[in-house]
Amino acid sequence: MPVKVIIPTPLRPFAGKRDSAEFPAATVGEALGNLTKEFGELRKHLFTEDGKLRSFVNVYLNDEDIRYLGKEETPVKDGDVVSIVPSIAGGRS
């Protein structure tokens, strides 16, 4: 069973309107790499031009921020859930 990647609402237009997708992967970075391979338009929203994860995009493995694990090298196992959590600001208007 592969890893599930949860795609947040603001990024769904760039991911074929999907709310999640599953990929085989050994690390968080690999799961995200496979995601952007399938949905090319997502790449610029998640990664800088030199391939680094953008600073305003937070990635969680299950309920833990990967910045406090092994970042993109964090190993994943079958059934893990990788969540992309971008900042959203709406509320007043």
Partner 1 sequence: MATKTQTVDTKAQFTNLSKDEILRYSRHLIMPEVGMEGQLKLKNAKVLLIGTGGLGAPLGLYLAAAGVGKLGLVDFDVVDSTNLQRQVTFGAQDVGKPKTLAAKNRLSSLNSDIEIETFETKLESSNALELFKDFDIIVDGTDNFPTRYLVNDACILLGKPNVYGSIFRFEGQVTVFGAPDGPCYRCLYPEPPPPGLVPSCAEGGVLGVLPGIVGSIQAMETIKLIIGRGDSLVGRLLLFDALAMKFRELKLRKNPNCPVCGTNPTLTKLIDYYEFCGVRGEEAPASDIHVPEITPREMKSRLDRGDDLFILDVREPHEYQICNLNGHLIPLGELPRRVHELDTSKEIIAHCRSGKRSAEAVDFLRKAGFRKILNLKGGILAWSDEVDPSVPKY
Residues that bind partner 1 (CB under 8 A): 8-10, 13-14, 19, 41, 45, 54-56, 58, 60, 63-65, 68, 83, 85-93
Could you tell me the smallest distance in angstroms from the CB atom of residue 22 to partner 1?
16
| Nearest to partner 1 of 50, 56 (CB atom) | 56
Q: How far apart are the first and last CA of the chain?
A: 43
Instruction: For the CB of residue 20, give the shortest distance to partner 1 in the complex, in Å.
Output: 10
Question: For residues 25 and 78, what is the distance between their CA atoms, to the nearest angstrom?
Answer: 9
Cα–Cα distance, 6 to 76 (Å, whole number): 14
Place of tokens 């709406």: 90
Nearer Cβ to partner 1, position 48 or 51? 48
Q: Is 47 helix (H, G, I), strand (E, B) or coil?
A: strand
Min dist CB 14 to partner 1, Å, is 7
17 near 9, Cβ under 8 Å?
Answer: no
Shortest distance, CB of residue 26 to partner 1, whole angstroms?
23
